Amino acid sequence: MNSTTNGADNTTSDTNGHGSAPVSVTLGRKPPSKGAADGGGVVLAPGAGKTACIRTFGCQMNVHDSDRMRRMIRDAGYAEVQRYEDADVVVLNTCYVRENAVDRVRGHLGELSRLKKEGRVKKFALTGCVGAAKESSQLRNTYGIDLVLGTHNTYELAEFVGLPGMEETYTPDLPGTEGEHQAFVTIMTGCNYQCSYCIVPTVRGRMACRPMESVVEEVRMLVGSGARYVTLLGQTVDAWREKGGAKRFCDLLERVADEAPRVSFTTSHPSNMEDRTLKLIGEKETIVGRLHLPVQSGSDRMLRAMHRGYKSDRYRRKIEVFRDEVPDGTLSTDVIVGHPGETEADHDETLRLLEDCAFDSAYVFKFSPRKGTEAAEMARETSVADDVVQRRFMEVMRAVEQSAFRRNSTKIGSVEEIYVRHGRTGDGRAIGETWGGHAVHVPTDVSPGGYVTARVESAGPHVLHAGEPLS
């Protein structure tokens, strides 16, 4: 999920095509230095002296899971540090998306094992998708990992860090982050689809939806403690429904949009996206007009091979509704190039769909086989040659950039209310977002979570550039 509306290059490659380009994130504020010569820096909790480090790889779901674990660690009196060697306890929250994910994790585990033998790290945990994978028990034995958790039982970390045991049966009921301007709220985990190329259903399990009242309660609490922007998260977020009830994602979104001043959601599946949800996005002024709807291919033949569960024309119809209902909105997608068996005709169909839908941005992925998936087996017989994949990849990228640039250019001259997000550009401008979901750079000192109004002066394919704020 890892939605990149931050004005950075949002077209990436080489992952699983689920909008979740692997990233390595070290959570937490950069702590003040404990001494002039200490480049890493340590924050010592008042009176406690215990330290912990959380290292996160992967998608937004993982970042959010880390956020929850971080909260537990703080509650247990640990101060967060950035380097393994400064930490008593280390949590490695991992991603299984890349083919070499386990090898990458081995590197970190080797280092942690060494630090533990030297007495610098007291104990460490492996969590997340690699923790849920079958290789985890072998990793545990090889590296002497103290705790291995999957994606559904991160609550067990509580006892590991000295808190009373928790009895929740699934992760979403753990507390989220409070007091920050932007908050992520998981409304469902897992996935009931079986896309040919995807390991998510294997490592995250089947869909589990959180009760509506629990979500609304958390949103209320977050907004009460300062959150200005709430993003609802799920692998197929629009598949959310209340157990045994008639409530669907649209109903939940409306409730949340009544509670929070700014709302967004990711990632959606075309088969679950209802027209009334698209209409709601256009109607409700607290919902950002952005839709990320992964299509993966424009060819019905490839969509069937991928088990996506829809045809390209059905996808096109959804987009028409979105464009009608949210004329100023932004639309992004995921495309996989070079799935096993993809022919030139299939690729042409994808280019045609890109033209028809005129996306504002896209995550473009070169197919990369994941062990344990159907597509990895298919690749043994019908893989697409690397040079062909590379050419198709460039053609898809060009098509997306052209439509993105065209669409962004129509914004020049418009006056926008811009929400200031985190981070700054190299030349010190704030990174923000319009109500339509456009990434925009604006010269302002306003802190994240605030708004400025400014006129768009120029546009590139990935970002709008605004002038001095008008207010």
Site residues for ligand SF4 per CB under 6 A: 18, 191, 193-195, 198, 200-201, 235-236, 269
- Give the strand pairing for 451-459 and 415-424: antiparallel
User: Is 83 or 292 the residue whose CB approaches ligand SF4 more closely?
Assistant: 292
| 8 Å CB contact between 414 and 306 | no
Residue whose CB is less far from ligand SF4, 228 or 269: 269
**Closest CB to ligand SF4 among residues 258, 377:** 377
| Structural contact between residues 214 and 187, judged by C-beta atoms closer than 8 angstroms | no
**Residue the block writes with tokens 């931050």:** 6
Q: How far apart are CA 158 and CA 165, in angstroms?
A: 6
For ligand SF4, the closer CB: 191 or 326: 191
Question: At closest approach, how far in Å is the CB of 195 from ligand SF4?
Answer: 3
Please state the closest distance from residue 216 (CB atom) to ligand SF4, in A. Answer: 25
Mention every residue, 6+ apart, whose C-beta is less than 8 A from residue 43: 31, 32, 34, 79, 80, 81
Please say which residue, 270 or 461, places its beta carbon nearer to ligand SF4: 270
Judged by beta carbon, residue 292 or residue 407, the one nearer ligand SF4 is 292
d(CA 10, CA 361) in angstroms, rounded, equals 7
| Shortest CB 201 distance to ligand SF4, Å | 5
State in angstroms the smallest separation of the CB of 266 from ligand SF4.
Answer: 12
CB of 260 to ligand SF4, least distance (A): 25
Decide whether 195 or 456 has the Cβ nearer to ligand SF4: 195
Report the nearest approach of ligand SF4 to the CB of residue 205 (Å).
11
Complex with ligand SF4: residue 11 or 235, whichever CB lies closer: 235
**Choice between 193 and 310, CB closer to ligand SF4:** 193
CA–CA gap between residue 115 and residue 66 (Å, rounded): 22
- Name all contacts of 153-161 with Cβ < 8 Å and 24+ positions apart: 154/65, 154/68, 154/69, 154/127, 157/69, 157/72, 157/73, 157/91, 157/125, 157/127, 158/72, 158/76, 160/89, 160/123, 160/125, 161/52, 161/72, 161/73, 161/76, 161/78, 161/89
The tokens of 315 are what? 């996808």
Enumerate the β-bridge partners of residue 453: 417
Distance of CA 366 to the CA centre of its chain: 19
C-alpha pair distances (Å), 38 with each of 32, 35, 50, 110:
10, 5, 18, 24
- Measured CA to CA, the distance from residue 238 to residue 3 in angstroms comes to 16
Rounded CA separation 43/82 (Å) = 9
- Residue 269 C-beta: closest distance to ligand SF4, Å: 5
Considering just the CA atoms, what is the radius of gyration of the chain in Å? 22
The dihedral through the CA atoms of 82, 161, 226, 10 has a sign that is positive
CB of 103 to ligand SF4, least distance (A): 22
Q: Give CA–CA dist 85/355, Å, rounded.
A: 51
Taking the complex as a whole, the smallest distance from the CB of residue 18 to ligand SF4 amounts, in Å, to 4
